[in-house]
Every structure is written in structure tokens, then in C-alpha cells.
Structure 1
Amino acid sequence: MDTIKIPQSSDDPQYILIYPWPDLVPMVAAAVIGIAIEQVTLCLLATIVLLGRYQRFRDGKPKMFVPHWLYGKGIGMPRGHTIPEPMDKVFLP
């Protein structure tokens, strides 16, 4: 078993039990969806495979790469009124 690194700053993900929350949330969501459609094993296995691929992708990229990439594609969800929409080409004062 790997040692758990204690977060040194507020930017590091919070741990729930022994898992960081970005890894635990999809597992819980897959369990809930699996219970709803009566295919828990299939949903959890698919989530484990997708999480493994996502972790490999995430480890090779800088922090906040995925949210910035999504924002650039127009999928991002800005949290303030001063953040312009990513697809706006003309800015009016």
C-alpha cells in the first residue's frame, strides 16, 4: 500500500477515508446509478476502468488542465459575473 501524502496547501484535494474526493465521487455516483438500474457490478467495473485512465491522464498534465480545457471548448462553468464566456468574440464595455 502506498503512503498517503498529507495535503500541504489548500489547493490539494481533500481525502475522504483513504481516497481523494475527486476519485471517490465517481465511484459513489456509479454505485447509486448501478443500484437504480440494477447493474451495480457493471457500473463499478466501468468506473474503475475509466478512473484508471483518467488518473493516468491527470498525472501527465499540470493542475487545473481539465477545467481550463473544458472552458476553452465552451463547456466550462464560470463562477462570476466578470468572467467572459469562452466563445464570445466581441467584448462590449
Structure 2
Amino acid sequence: MSDSAIIHPDYIRIVERKPNGWLIKTGTLFYKRLAVNFQDLELLYGVSKEEMLAQLSRLNQGKQGFYLADLRHRQYRYCGVSSDSIKPVLRELGIGRIDPREN
């Protein structure tokens, strides 16, 4: 991923499709109200990693690049081959805004 940070809700997972498989990106939690394992997708959202990856592989025939998994709403999106394509897709979902310092 690029050097810029991507801040998103926990129910959104960023996944990268590489030639040798899928890589679920892990981030740093900066606010945590619950004492649960936030990597346990089945406990939190009723979706297993296998189910999530099966849904993602149906998009663009599992083409290499970056994907978003909205586990709360069970929506999956292909972003593109560059990590820079993630933020615009998040903004389409109403998450985040354009940094006023960027032009």
C-alpha cells in the first residue's frame, strides 16, 4: 500500500489479490469499546474468511488488485490494481472525505 494511511470502520476489510493468493490487510485499531478479537469475522459479522474470499473471487474473476469487503452490509467491491484506488471507493460508500491539503 502507499505511504498514506487509510482510516475506515472495522466492518470494512481491505483485501489484496496477489498472484499467489489473497492477503487480508490488517491495520491498527485506534478506538476499541469491546474486549473481543477484531480478527474473528465470524463472531463479529457472521461471515467466515472463506465466505468473504469466495465472494471477492466472484468479482472480476478474482483479478489481481485491491478489494473492499463491507462485512456489515455483505457488500463487496473491486477497487483497482493500485492502492490509491481504495480511498475513492471508500468515499463512494460515504466513508472519509478529500483531504483539504491535497490538490
Q: Which has the higher helix share?
A: 1
More strand by share: 2
Q: Tell me, yes or no, whether TM beats 0.5.
A: no
| Higher relative contact order (Cα pairs below 8 Å, separated by 6+ residues) | 2
TM-score relative to the length of structure 1:
0.32
Task: Name which one, 1 or 2, has greater alpha-carbon Rg.
Answer: 1
TM-score (norm 2): 0.30
